[in-house]
């Protein structure tokens, strides 16, 4: 057993460091595990996961107010599936997406249903 499933590696990362980290992971032989997002009170956070020989590395990135982040699909082509999903559900735009569905990946009734708005002064959402 090389790595236990209980090992947790979650490190914070700034948005501009995403591309260089993806490049580094690619060169080290890691495969892309997943990319997901979560949104609370208007702040969207991305989680990137890479795996190599059961060593799971996760990176947490807070998306800036302009809701854009660089795409890592030029390093990991398979990332298009996760980035399109995050775009359709959370409204994050990935610049440089190799296979961009422009919002038509997931057939949804309302666009970006999981995006939250910042809490207003009255406490409503």
- Site membership for another protein, residue 47 (CB under 8 A): yes
Rule CB under 8 A: choose which of 10, 12, 28, 43 binds another protein: 10
Q: Which of 64, 96, 113, 118 binds another protein (CB under 8 A)?
A: 113
- Cβ-Cβ contacts under 8 Å for 66 (sequence gap 6 or more): none
Distance of CA 39 to the CA centre of its chain: 11
Distances (CA, A) of 77 to 1, 82, 99: 30, 10, 8
Binding site for another protein (CB under 8 A): 1-6, 8, 10, 29, 31-34, 36, 38, 40, 47, 49, 51, 54, 56, 58, 60, 76-78, 80-82, 101, 104-108, 113-114
């Amino acid at each position: 057993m090389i790595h236990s499933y209980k090992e947790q590696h979650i490190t914070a990362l700034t948005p501009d460091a995403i591309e260089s980290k993806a490049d580094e992971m690619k060169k080290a032989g890691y495969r892309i595990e997943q990319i997901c997002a979560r949104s609370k009170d208007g702040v969207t956070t991305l989680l990137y996961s890479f795996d190599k020989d059961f060593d799971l590395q996760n990176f947490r990135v807070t998306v800036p107010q302009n809701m854009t982040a660089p795409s890592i699909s030029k390093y990991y082509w398979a990332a298009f599936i996760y980035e399109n999903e995050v775009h359709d559900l959370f409204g994050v735009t990935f610049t440089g997406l190799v296979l961009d569905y422009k919002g038509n990946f997931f057939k949804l009734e309302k666009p970006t249903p999981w995006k939250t708005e910042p809490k207003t002064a009255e406490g409503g959402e």
